[in-house]
Amino acid sequence: MADQTDVPHPPSLEDMQRWTWVIGRAQQLMLEHGVEMAMKAAEAPPPAAFPNMMDSTALTRAATDFWSDSLKLWQRFVTPGEAGADPKDRRFAAPEWRQHPLYDLIRQTYLTIADHMLKSVDLLDGVDAAQKERLRFATRTVVEAMSPSNFVLTNPEVMKRTLETGGENLLKGLEHLLRDLRQGQLSHVRQGAFEVGRNLATTPGKVVKRTPLYELIQYAPTTDQVFETPLVIFPPWINRFYILDLNPEKSFIRWAVEQGLSVFMVSWKSADASMKDVIWDDYVAAQIDAIDTIGEALDVKSVHAIGYCVAGTTLAATLAVLAGRGEADKVRSATFFTAQVDFSHAGELKNFVDDEQLKLLEGLAPDGFFDGRYMAATFNLLRGRDLIWNYVVSNYLLGNDYPAFDLLHWNGDTTNLPAKWHRAYLTDLYRDNKLVVPNALTVLGVPLDLRDVTTPTYVQAGREDHIAPAESVWKITDHFDGPVRFVLAGSGHIAGVVNPPSTGKYQYWTNDRPVGSLDEFVAGATETKGSWWPDWIGWIEARGAEKVPAEGARVPGAGKLPAIEEAPGSYVRAS
């Protein structure tokens, strides 16, 4: 006897006869509609209210293509097995999407319509490139939302689970949904699975300085000798710093300490009403303050500095300020993790910086700071299929238990942003791209000119980065005047950075020949399997291999900076 939970049963002969008639009638309707559209497009001019939006030739071609693809779809339905699903599209991974004719039809119909909706954006004339990109992003967002995998009745896996459990999956999913609504954020991991200081951010160290904007953490050495030049890391204040200290196996911080570096980490305060007047100058001043504090505490003239994402953008401004003051030698080398200074090719985040979006932001920060959940939703929207709808199906429809995944916990551990700074960041950098215009911006009284930066620089970009596209990160090489080593890492904004050598994952590309573009770099690049971290530490050592004993001020709390509390500190725990 067949399993009563199989959903749905294969169609009977009577069903197939009915579907054959439906298919024939549908083909006739689409044929008539396609011919009608083509004739109208060829004969009638576009409405006067919409001149040049879409020429008749393009419309005719679009109608013909849609008609042709629709006919192919119905032909595949009556001759199944000719077309499989994209193996990378996890929405349709369940075998029913290919093996059952009805669900296969639903899937292929959706994909055909979605493909033509996206193609229609490219047919628009008289629309500037930026507006077209916003339309493309909006269309893709709608297309992803309307996927049949997102609805109970059109998802075979959900239907099967519903019958198997008697609807318990939907009740459990409702509990998940209501909890997320209460907290105002989509959950990705099980509550209580992770805790900062318990199983996240556990590298031993101490907070040795606290200001209203940041805490400075010094990590305990694990080698007898350490490099004379210490390392300070500036993480993005859009997220928590422990992305670089998730667990002992993934921790860049722990690995850097094991290489013999004296490592300091800046932990930014999540914004509150007391920070309503904080601007970009304050973050630049904080970076300089941290550099000066470390130099004085360890009695060294310079530090190595790392800036990740927006903190890397700020590090570029810091270098320009120091150069303008004649103090460039305070930073011996600068490393940029997926950071941008030229926003002309900044990717899909530019879709959020038009006048309407910026006006909308005005009402989201009545107390002078933006709730971090808004930023989390924005970043999730950039990868809506993976970070939104995948979890809607898993959490709400299938009622699955949440996974215990540290990276996803970090992704949902949001921080608030100072509203005044954030608006200026979006307008001055993302929208107006002023950082690369000499003297267009003044920070701490110094006009910024990136051409004054001669600090040796290591630039890491992620090949699949959707937040800071590799093409955009590459542009650092066009503006700095010092020696630059560019490394293209496999994967994206997070996994491309957090890729310890022990995992043996991904790869990176280097090219020591002079090149003028990212395409030229890639064309002549050498691929190396695994992590780029060893390449970076070799580059750091080449900037100065001098070692000193790991004692005295090199031990947290044993020098001029008294220990305030154990790492990871208080700011990283604050909401």
Handedness of CA 220, 225, 231, 236 (dihedral sign): negative
Which 8-state DSSP code applies to residue 327? Answer: -
pLDDT tens-place string over residues 513-570: 999 999 999 999 999 999 999 999 999 999 999 999 999 999 999 999 999 999 999 9
Rounded Cα distance between 438 and 427, Å, is 17
Q: Can you spell out the DSSP letters for 272-340? A: -GGGTT--HHHHHHHHHHHHHHHHHHHT-S-EEEEEETHHHHHHHHHHHHHHHHT-GGGEEEEEEES--
**Distance of alpha carbon 53 from its chain centroid, rounded?**
33
Rounded Cα distance between 453 and 317, Å, is 9
SS3 readout for 403-418: CCCHHHHHHHCCCCEE
Q: Are 372 and 185 in contact (CB under 8 A)?
A: no
Q: Which of 170, 309, 328, 518 is flagged as catalytic? A: 309
Rounded Cα distance between 319 and 327, Å, is 9
Radius of gyration of the chain (CA): 28
Instruction: Note the pLDDT of residue 352.
Output: 66
Q: Are 347 and 461 in contact (CB under 8 A)?
A: no
Give me the residue spans of the domains in the chain: 13-165, 205-371+414-566
Instruction: Note the pLDDT of residue 405.
Output: 85
Instruction: Note the pLDDT of residue 339.
Output: 97
Measuring CA to CA, which residue among 204, 170, 470 is closest to residue 337? 470
Instruction: Note the pLDDT of residue 313.
Output: 97
CATH classification code of 205-371+414-566: 3.40.50.1820
Instruction: Note the pLDDT of residue 381.
Output: 65
Rounded Cα distance between 419 and 422, Å, is 5
Rounded Cα distance between 335 and 353, Å, is 27
3-state secondary structure of 574: coil
pLDDT beneath 70: ranges in the chain:
1-87, 126, 185, 351-352, 375-384, 387
Instruction: Note the pLDDT of residue 36.
Output: 53
Instruction: Note the pLDDT of residue 67.
Output: 47
Instruction: Note the pLDDT of residue 12.
Output: 55
Rounded Cα distance between 234 and 201, Å, is 16
Instruction: Note the pLDDT of residue 522.
Output: 97
Estimate the crossing angle of helix 101-122 against helix 129-145, to 10 degrees.
170
Catalytic annotation present for 309: yes
SS3 readout for 444-475: CCEECCHHHCCCCEEEEEECCCCCCCHHHHHC
Q: Can you spell out the DSSP letters for 14-35? A: HHHHHHHHHHHHHHHHHHHHHH
Rounded Cα distance between 561 and 205, Å, is 13
In 423-483 the beta strands, taken as DSSP E runs, fall at 442-443, 446-447, 457-462
Instruction: Note the pLDDT of residue 57.
Output: 52
- Residues paired with residue 549 on neighbouring β-strands, in sequence order: 225
Residue whose pair of structure tokens reads 């200074």 in the numeric block: 341
Instruction: Note the pLDDT of residue 414.
Output: 85
CA distances from 40 to 125, 235, 274, 478 (A): 19, 57, 62, 50
